[in-house]
Amino acid sequence: MGAPWWLQAFNAVEGAVGPRVEEFVHGPTFSTSLVVVQKVKRGMKGQVERRTSQVWHLVNLPAGTDVRRLRGQIGDLDHEVRALRSALEREKRARARKERSRDDG
């Protein structure tokens, strides 16, 4: 029994299209086009973010950049609280050891 029908169909299409795609991808046009598309995409994204941020601020709501900044600040505060909690626990244990050694001595 031969290969499944779907594999035969795939192999037929890949055999016909594959070499052309390979040629295009390895040619100079593809890499240049890719760079241009990335730059345009980055520029458009920045413009959209600025415009939507302005709209959100007009109606007194936080924009995505505000939320990202706040999330970063919350993460920093969480890290500081954990460090302070750890330092406090170490200090409590050290004091407890001193108390025990003083009571034993």
pLDDT tens-digit readout, 83-104: 999 999 999 999 999 988 888 7
Query: What are residue 59's phi and psi, to 5 degrees?
Result: -100, 20
Give the pLDDT confidence of 16-61 residue by residue, as tens digits.
Answer: 999 999 998 998 899 999 999 999 999 999 999 999 999 999 999 9
∠ CA 10-15-16, rounded to 5°:
105
Of the candidates 68, 72, 65, 39, the residue with the CA atom closest to the CA atom of residue 51: 65
pLDDT of residue 42: 95
* Side chain identity, residue 76: D
Distance separating alpha carbons of residues 1 and 3, to the nearest angstrom: 7
- All structural domains of the chain with their residue ranges: 1-61, 62-105
- What local confidence, expressed as pLDDT, does residue 103 receive? 81
Token pair in block for residue 44: 């458009």
Q: Residue 105: what pLDDT? A: 65
**pLDDT of 50:** 93
